[in-house]
Amino acid sequence: MAGKQQRTRVQREKRVDQTLYLSSQGRGAVLKEEVWYESERVVEYGLAYINPRIYAADNGRVLGYDNTHNYHHRHFMGKVEKIEFHGYDALVKRFESELYELWRTEDEDDHE
């Protein structure tokens, strides 16, 4: 039809879907990362450290970040708080920093 422009729909693509089983962190500890893109833009993500030995509720999720429910938020041992999102790479750095601190305190607790 003359005068009508066709819009190209950008496909949503899940490019990252990783689950790492952490034997050094105790039985059942898992790291998960899922990331969906539209073109080169991250549109949906989920990061989680799961360890039912540390926290049994929330399916064992000790620490996590995601943007489900249309907002960016942080999970920590059952509590959810809204966060400011400064890009996915910055969020991964924040997650890793918190994760290493958690592991450090877990190791200290195990050696007491």
Look at residue 4 and tell me if it is in a domain: no
Look at residue 33 and tell me if it is in a domain: yes
Work out the burial of residue 46: count CB atoms within 10 Å of its CB; fewer than 13 is exposed, 13-18 middle, 19 or more buried: middle
Q: What is the spatial order of strands in the sheet that 79-82 belongs to?
A: 12-21, 30-38, 41-50, 61-66, 73-76, 79-82
CB 25 within 8 A of CB 12: no
- For 56, the domain range is 12-110
Look at residue 5 and tell me if it is in a domain: no
Average pLDDT over residues 69-76: 96
Q: Which position has the token pair 């059952």? A: 78
Q: Is the model more confident about 5 or about 82?
A: 82
User: pLDDT at position 8, please?
Assistant: 72
Average pLDDT over residues 67-83: 96
Half-sphere exposure of 28 (CA within 13 A, CB side): 11
Q: What digits encode the pLDDT tens for the residues 7-58?
A: 677 899 999 999 999 887 566 799 999 999 999 999 999 999 999 989 999 9
Q: How many domains does the structure of the chain reveal?
A: 1
